[in-house]
Amino acid sequence: MDFELNEDQLAYSEMAQAFAEKELAPNAAAWDEQQYFPVDVLKRAGEMGLCGLYTPESGGGLGLSRLDSSIIFEQMAAGCTATTAYLTIHNMVSWMLSTFATDSAKAQWSEALSSGEKLGSYCLTEPNAGSDAASLKTSARKEGDKYILNGGKVFISGAGETDLLLVMARTSADGARGISAFAVDANSAGISYGRKEHKMGWNCQPTRSISFEDVEVEASCLLGEEGDGFKIAMQGLDGGRVNIATCSVGTAQAALSYALKYLHQRQQFGRELASFQALQFKVSTMNTELVAARQMVRLAASKLDNKHPDRSTYCAMAKRFATDVCFNICDEALQILGGNGYMKEYPLERYVRDSRVHRILEGTNEIMNVIIARRILIEETNQIL
């Protein structure tokens, strides 16, 4: 296996780094403080193809691999974790629609999403259906050539400021096989949005609940067939887990890089902090774990690209490991700065706040352990991962 990036991947990485340094990093603290959703910057990202990285070219996207996309997201997350995390969600919505929607829905939405002209939200979680997504209650009742949506979603990123909602709703009582996916215009009659949630992190992207009351959706807005929704959602979440793990890696890299500069600039007891062995050992561990997390994430992305039969397990392992380890790296970087790390004048406290939720969303890390354990203990196979 070749662990080196090829010429194209190096070019993608440099492009993403330049965008992050120009558009994201200088504004991230202000966006966090003001709880500002940078739609203008997201649209500029769209002009560069960053809103449809792995969306097929037929849908207006770049058609990149998940590995290539991960390399790009890592560089962007170093500029602003929360904005990049939203972009990963938007990319998932764009890919789902361009892959599974009807021709008429694709014509209406696909290129607009890929270009960043329109923005999307992913609507799966409900008040009583978080980790147990198959128990969702939002319903879609067929009436003639329409479906009637009723129910509610919570913790929806971008809600209230996006144009398309990709909604998972129940079309039958048949458990996970009774769930279907719909592309819903976010401005449809009967849709209402809750207040903007006050969160620990991810403050530059709005998070709201959504209520659906007799919302009419054209039958042509169904993705795939009735009952395909849970399968579509799980395929999306494999990539989503790689994406959010990547955001953790990028944030941890930014935190470590900042801490390393600080170690050379700050003096105590008449010498640089970098000369103290205790701190040398700390950054040695941080860097080693960061490299391990990066390689695990890229391995999972490669498994996903190659449709490996165990790709879901690799994605779960990468998400569990990278989000745990990289949060700890951010926390250790804050510790290196001491009291300064706790101040909003420095970015470390924001890195910690923004990366904490990564251990919860796209499936909690406890659920990742369930997925991994089921594969290695329960399934009837002796193959080693």
* pLDDT tens per residue, range 219-244: 999 999 999 999 999 999 999 999 99
32 located within any domain: yes
User: What's the pLDDT band for 7 if we cut at 50, 70, 90?
Assistant: very high
2 located within any domain: no
Domain encompassing residue 25: 7-114
Q: Is 315 helix (H, G, I), strand (E, B) or coil?
A: helix
Q: Is 216 helix (H, G, I), strand (E, B) or coil?
A: strand
Do residues 190 and 110 both lie within one domain?
no
- With 60 as the cut, is the pLDDT of residue 381 above it? no
- With 90 as the cut, is the pLDDT of residue 139 above it? yes
Span 3-32, average pLDDT: 97
- The 10s digit of each residue's pLDDT in 95-124 is 999 999 999 999 999 999 999 999 999 999
Q: Which of these is catalytic: 362, 366, 379, 380?
A: 362
| CA dist list (Å): 187 to 10, 161, 164, 218, 356 | 40, 10, 8, 14, 32
Q: How far is CA 82 from the centre of its chain?
A: 9
User: What's the pLDDT band for 134 if we cut at 50, 70, 90?
Assistant: confident
Provide the mean pLDDT of the chain.
96
User: What's the pLDDT band for 160 if we cut at 50, 70, 90?
Assistant: very high
Do residues 104 and 161 both lie within one domain?
no
pTM: 0.95
CATH of the domain at 31: 1.10.540.10
- The 10s digit of each residue's pLDDT in 190-212 is 999 999 999 999 999 999 999 99
The packing angle between helices 229-265 and 311-337, to 10°, is: 30
Do residues 251 and 342 both lie within one domain?
yes
Is residue 362 flagged as an active site residue? yes
User: What's the pLDDT band for 382 if we cut at 50, 70, 90?
Assistant: low
- With 60 as the cut, is the pLDDT of residue 164 above it? yes
